[in-house]
Homo-oligomer: A and B are copies of this chain.
Amino acid sequence: MAGKTAKLRKRPLTLRDVSEASGVSEMTVSRVLRNRGDVSEATRSKVLKAAKALGYVPNKIAGALASQRVNLVAVIIPSLSNMVFPEVLSGISEVLDETPLQPVVGVTNYSPEREEKVLYEMLSWRPSGVIIAGLEHSDPSRAMLRAAGIPVVEIMDVDGEPIDAVVGISHRAAGYEMATEIVRQGYRRIGFLGTKMPLDHRARKRFEGFTEALARAGLEVVDQEFYSGGSALLKGREMTEAILKRHPDLDFLYYSNDMIGAGGLLYLLERGMDIPGQIGLAGFNGVELLEGLPRRLATMDACRMEIGRAAAEIIARRIADESAEPGEKIVFRSRMSPGDTLLRRDAKP
């Protein structure tokens, strides 16, 4: 019944094998496998049967070289353990799933050198487009992106000079808005807790926007505390303890991300602090995790899924239509969610 199906072969299968097995030319097999061009139903099924029997998997390497087309989109992000990026990725996947395009992910660990290397590797596969986190890249990286001659979408952040298209939120504005609200609610002695990473430009921009708004109100950050590595939740606890030890009179803590914010929240609740009366808290990101906490931490949504979707849509459009305009810019508005850790004295009655 069987055939030479599972036989251990030395030479890998090619179109030729399928063509011989089904008695038609390689070209016809190629047409069948790609659903392109006219093939009669009879030969189509004959070919498909042969291909399946042999267990043939087309060689996209050869296909891509011949057709000068690669249905890959390079997606370059700093980290996978941040929870932010997997969400962006699923936004991208959702959109690309409806197209022939496929995302390929590269991770830079927030290192410009690695970014450059990863980018080089990815571009050497001649992807049809690039989605890359951030607007800050090394000169060689920018040069490569420009020279690649493919659509490039920089995501997450819009505060800077894009290479081509850009989709994101203004982190500077997000920090500004949060500080404004904090001040409006009457908090005055404000501490900041964040990552040590000088290369997390988005966290930096949030902080800059934050201090700018404080300055406008004649305030400045009373004290700061930084961390790197380790369990963010635990670090949030430790940093909160440390900063309050130095300044027990702080009445607000602004965390650069929700995870350390959550750690701080748990710590303060255990201490029986009055939140948000005695002390207010806020983070950034709107992570799903927060929903299960004893109190909802004040935060701002980073629009992760939307950013992913929008970026993928730009890429898809640009690839489908060569003449589409480059340089598109989409700015999402980060929504504030005050939760239970920020006073809510309404401005208007």
Contacts and interface: CB of A to CB of B under 8 A. Distances in A.
B93 A87 contact: no
B292 A61 contact: no
A235 B288 CA distance: 11
Interface in A54-74: 55, 57-62, 64-65, 70
Given A58-B124, A61-B125, A291 B231 contact: yes
A104 interface: yes
Contacts of A236: 292
B93 A86 contact: no
Interface of A: 6, 9, 12-13, 55, 57-62, 64-65, 70, 80-81, 83, 86-87, 89-90, 93, 102, 104-105, 107, 120-121, 123-126, 143-144, 146-149, 230-237, 262-263, 266, 270, 288-294
Contacts of A13: 147
A305 to B, nearest CB: 12
Contact of A57 (B62, B123, B233, B266): B123
A288 B263 CA distance: 12
A93 B70 contact: no
A81 B86 contact: yes
Nearest to A107: B93
Contacts of A57: 120, 123-124, 144, 147-148
13 contacts: A12-B126, A12-B149, A57-B148, A60-B126, A61-B64, A65-B65, A81-B86, A233-B288, A233-B291, A233-B293, A234-B292, A237-B292, A263-B292
A98 to B, nearest CB: 14
> Most chain-B Cβ atoms within 10 A of its Cβ — which of A59, A61, A70, A126?
A61
A6 B292 contact: no
Nearest to A93: B107
Nearest to A269: B294
Nearest to A120: B57
Contacts of A105: 105
B6 A60 contact: no
> Most chain-B Cβ atoms within 10 A of its Cβ — which of A55, A62, A104, A125?
A125
A293 B87 CA distance: 24
Nearest to A8: B149
A121 B121 CA distance: 19
Contact of A126 (B6, B61, B148, B149): B61
A230 B125 CA distance: 37
B125 A60 contact: yes
Contact of A6 (B81, B86, B143): B143
B121 A102 contact: yes
A260 B289 CA distance: 11
A1 to B, nearest CB: 16
B87 A81 contact: yes
B86 A80 contact: yes
A241 B94 CA distance: 34
Contacts of A237: 292
Contacts of A70: 61
Nearest to A288: B231
Contacts of A64: 61
